[in-house]
Structure 1
C-alpha cells in the first residue's frame, strides 16, 4: 500500500527488441507497483541471455511469467484469473511452462506448486538470478522453487532492459526490501529486509541512460529516504559499521545531490518516501537543484494518531503536519501526494474526520486512496479484527475521494496563467495533435505539437485546466533544453 499502483499499467505485457540468435519465446505480464515493473526488466535481461525473445502472443510462448503483487486482494484475484487463462492455453500447448514471480510467489508458494498445481515454477523477488537453474529443473520435469529472501541482493550488476519505454523517462531502483513493519503491509515479508545499492552502480546506470538520450530518472525504492550505503549490508546493521564506513557512507541526500550535480540536463524524481525518514537535508537538496522535481509522494495512510499507532506507522499526525510545514517552508509551491487507507480496524467516525481535516490542512495535489482489505500474512490480519462494515468503508472512501478531487482542482488551478517547464513524453491520449508531458510538480500538461518532439524540454503558458491536467501553448524551449 506504501507503493503507487497505477491501474492503467496493470497486466502490461513486456516487449523488447528481438535478438535473431534467440529461438525461445517469453511472455511476461506485470501487476502491482512500479518496483514490480522494474523487476520485470531485470528478469527480461537475465532471460535474454538464456535465449528468450519476448512475445505478446500468449499462444506461441515457451515460458509464461506473471510478476505479482500481494498488496491488495484485487491484485491477487486478477492474477489468479490470469493463471486460469494460462493453464487453458497450456492444455493446447503442453510444453509451455508457467511461472509466478514476485510478492505473491513468496506468500503462496506451497499453494501454487503443491496444492493447486497451477504453475511449474515459483520465484521470489530476490531469486531472479537463479532463473537459469530453475528453468533447467523445470526442463527436466521437476517443479522449481526459490523464494529465499536475500540480505545482499540488489541486482546492481544487471542492466535492466527498458520495457515499453518511451526513451525519455526511466526508473532506477536504489533500495530493495523494507524495515518498516506497518501492520497492513506484506512487503517486509515478501521482499525482505532493507538494503541499499552501491551508489557507483546507480550512477553507472544513470550514465548509460543519459548516453542513450533519456531525460528523466525516477529513483525507486520501497522507502527511498532511508537509502544508506556504507559498503554493503542491511540498513539495520549500520550501527555495527566501522568509523571509516560511517565517515564515507552515502545517504539519500548525498545520492540525490550526486545525481543532480552530475547530470544537470536530466530531471530527477523519487518514490516512495516515508515521513519518519524524510530528513530536512533532503528538502534543502531539492530546493538547491532546478533539475530535482518539486514533487514529493508522502504516504500518510490516516489522519488519526490513534490509527497511525495501530498501523505501526512511525509518526503521529502532529509530526506529519510539522514535516509538511517544513516542506512548504523550504520548497515553496512543492506538490504533495498521499496514500490513504480508510476503514482500518477500529477506525471511528472521529478518526475518519481527522483524516479529512488533515487533507484540508496539507492540500494534496494527487492521492491514491483505498478501502482497507485484510492481507493474509500481515500483522493486522493476525492481531486485529476487520471490524468496520463494508458499507461504512465505502462511504468514507467516497468522502475522501470527493474531497481529494475538490482540492486537486483548486491545486491545479494555481498554475493557470503561469509558465511551466514540461518534458514531452508522448502524444496526448485525447488528441494526436497535442503533446503530453509533466511539469516539475508531476501534473500532466497537454499543448499543441507545433515543431517540438518527444524528449524536448519546453516552456508552456497554461491557459486552462481540469482537476488533473493543465492545458496551454508552448512558447519556446526551456533552459534545460540547451
Structure 2
C-alpha cells in the first residue's frame, strides 16, 4: 500500500513503501510540495514533515541507537553505511541497549535458522520494552534481508516499529521520525533499487581499532541460483564506481587498516560502466543464466588498482562465483605479494545433476579444471568453499559425488549447511524439499567429518614450515597461564595461535614470521620467530 493504513483511525496508522507503491521520495514530495534529493547521505538537510526539530541541522538531537548485526559480512558493510547516515543526522551510537532510543537488528534471510534467531530476539525485545523497560521503551527496527523478504509481517503483533530493506537506509532518519509520531502502527520502506550502491557514503567502521576492514564493491546478484534468496532481498547487480572504491581503500589505509576485504554477493563479477573489452568466463565449461554484459571495467582492473594503494596492506575478496575467474585475474593474484593467495570457490554440490537443478552454470569437470589451473598458476593457493547438503531430490549417489569432489579438491576451509528452502526462489516454485531432516543431518555430518579429516592432514603437513601472520587478536591468557595470548591469520587464511617470548612485544596489526609447531583441522599453533 502507498498510503497510511489505519487499524486505529484515531491514533495508530501504518505506512509502507514497496515496489508496488509510489516511492518514499513521492511521499515526501506530496508532503512538502517540492523536489526531494535523496542522492546524498545528508538526511538532516532534506525537506521533510514538520517536526519539533524543524530548522535544526540535526535530526537525531542526540538520540541514541543500538545495533545488533546478524549474518554475512555484507551486513557488517551495510551497518557501517547506516552508522554514517545516523551519525550525520545527529544520532549517537551506544553500546548499551538500556540507553538506546532505537534498537536496530540488521538481519539475514539466507537460511531458516538465521531467521529463527531473529524471531526469538524480536520476541525478547517485545518483552523487554513492554515489561522490563516499559517507562522508556525504545523503537525496534528490523533492517536488511529478512526485512526485505518478510516486509509488513514484521510489523504485525508490534514486534517492530520500523522495517527497512537494504536499499532504503538513506530513509531511516525519516522512518524514525514517522514511527515516533503519527504512524505508531509501524513504517516500512522495502523498495528495491536498480541503482542504489551508497557509493557517495564513506562508511563509519563498527570497530575502528580492528586491523581488518570490509569494502563493499557491488550490490545485488543476477545469477538466480535456484536455492538462493539474495536476488529477491538485495535486487539486481549494480557496481560501485572504481574511483569510490579506491577512495575508501585509501581511507582505510590511512586509518591503519592492515587487511581489507572486498565483499559483495558476487565479487568477481564486478563490472563498472566505462570503456573496456570485458572478459570471458573461467573456462568453456561455465555459462550464465542471464545475458552477460559486454565491455566495462572488470574486477581484475579493480583489484590491480587497489593492490597498488599500499603494498603493506593485505587484500582479500569474498563471495565470488566460480564462473568469474579469468586467467588474467589468477596471474594478478600470483604476481602481487599483498593479494592474499586464498580464494573462496563455492561448489555447493559435487553432482552434475544437482548443479543443474541448482542452476549453477557449470559442471564438476569445469570446476575441477578451474581448480587445477588455480593450483598451477598460484602455488600453495588456499581454497575454501560452500557446500549444501540435502538439496531438493538429492540422491545417495549425488551426495557421494560431493564427498568425492571434496577428496579431489582438498579444501582448506568449508562452510557446510543443510538445505533450507526459501520462498520466492526457483526451487520453491519448481521443486519439492523432499530430503527428510534426518537424512540431511546424516549427510551433512559425513560432509563435515570428511572436511575435518582432509583439512587436518593438510594442516599437519605445514608443521615445520614458516609463514607470515598478521596479528589480529590480543587477549588475556587462560586463568591457568600468565601473560597475553596472540593470534592472527596467515596469507592463506589459516587461523594461527602464536607462541612468543616475553622480550618480543607484539600488538594488533603486527606482521610476524612464524614457524608452525602443531595443527588441527581448524587452526595452527606457531612460534613467532621475528617481527616484520
TM-score (norm 1): 0.89
Aligned to 2:235: 192
Counterpart contact for 2:126–2:158, Cα < 8 Å: no
Distance 1:111 1:59 in 2: 26
Residue among 67, 72, 78 paired with 2:117: 78
* Pair 1:471-2:522 in alignment: no
Q: Is 1:434 matched up with 2:434?
A: no
- Match 1:132 to one of 173, 198, 201: 173
Aligned match of 1:110: 152
- Is the helix fraction higher in 1 or 2? 1
The equivalent position to 1:455 in structure 2, one of 475, 484, 509, is: 509
- Aligned to 1:350, what secondary structure does the other structure show? helix
Residue 24 of structure 1 corresponds to which residue in structure 2? 63
Instruction: Return the alpha-carbon distance in structure 1 between the equivalents of residues 241 and 126 of structure 2.
Output: 40
CA contact (8 A) 1:224 1:271 kept: yes
Q: Quote the residue 1:7 is aligned against.
A: none
Which residue of 1 is the match for residue 394 of structure 2? 347
Q: Secondary structure at the match of 1:66?
A: strand
Query: What's the CA shift string for 1:25-81, capped at 9, x where partnerless?
Result: 101111111101111111111111222222233233111111111111111111011
Question: Does 2:446 correspond to 1:399?
Answer: yes
**SS, match of residue 269 in structure 1:** strand
* Comparing 215-224 and 445-454, the one that deviates more: 445-454
Q: Could you report, residue by residue, the CA deviation over 1:403-455 in whole angstroms, capped at 9, with x for unpaired residues?
A: 00001111212221111001111125865533111001100112234312211
State whether residues 26 and 55 of structure 1, in contact with CA within 8 Å, keep that contact through their aligned partners in structure 2. yes
Q: Distance in 2 between matches of 1:62 and 1:380?
A: 41
* Mapped contact 1:59–1:93 kept (Cα < 8 A): no
Give, in whole Å, the separation in 2 of the partners of 1:224 and 1:120.
33
Aligned to 2:385: 338
1:284 maps to which residue?
331
Instruction: Quote the residue 1:307 is aligned against.
Output: 354
Ranges in structure 1 where 5+ consecutive residues have no aligned partner: 1-18
Residue 136 of structure 1: how far off its partner (Å): 2.2
Which residue number corresponds to residue 380 of structure 1?
427
Partner in structure 1 of residue 344 of structure 2: 297
Number of equivalences: 449
Q: Does 1:261 align with 2:308?
A: yes
User: What CA deviation, in whole Å up to 9, does each residue of 1:313-349 have, x standing for no partner?
Assistant: 1111111111101100100110111110011111001
DSSP 3-state at the match of 2:158: coil
Alpha-carbon distance in structure 1 between the residues aligned to 2:405 and 2:490: 26
**How far apart in 2 are the matches of 1:110 and 1:135?**
16
Counterparts in 2 of 1:54 and 1:335: CA distance versus 1, 3 Å: same
2:142 to 91, 100, 106: 100
Question: TM-score under structure 2 normalisation?
Answer: 0.81
Kindly indicate whether the alpha-carbon contact (under 8 Å) linking 2:274 and 2:297 is maintained by their aligned counterparts in 1: no
Give runs of aligned pairs for residues 142-157 of structure 1, distance below 5 A. Answer: 142=183, 143-157=186-200
Q: Deviations over 1:294-317 (max 9, x none)?
A: 101111100001000101111111
Residue 222 of structure 2 contacts residue 236 of structure 2 at CA under 8 Å; is this kept in 1? Answer: yes
> Which is further off, 98-107 or 371-380?
371-380
Aligned-residue CA RMSD (Å): 2.0
| Distance of 2:470 and 2:498 partners within structure 1 | 12
Distance 1:439 1:303, change over 3 A: same
CA distance in 2, matches of 1:303, 1:166: 41
| Contact preservation (8 Å) 1:112, 1:118 | yes
Q: How far apart, in 2, do the equivalents of 1:203 and 1:259 lie?
A: 6
Between structure 1 and structure 2, the one with the greater Rg is: 2
Indicate the SS of the match to 2:421.
Answer: coil
Aligned mates of 1:52, 1:93 — CA distance in 2: 21
For residues 153 and 394 of structure 1, the distance between their equivalents in structure 2, rounded to whole angstroms, comes to: 39
Instruction: Note if contact 2:225-2:359 (Cα within 8 Å) is conserved in structure 1.
Output: yes
1:428–1:414: structure 2 CA closer, same or farther, 3 Å change rule? farther
Q: CA deviation at 1:386?
A: 0.8
What is the rounded CA distance, in whole Å, between the counterparts of 1:387 and 1:127 in structure 2? Answer: 36
Query: Which residue in the other structure is 2:225 paired with?
Result: 182
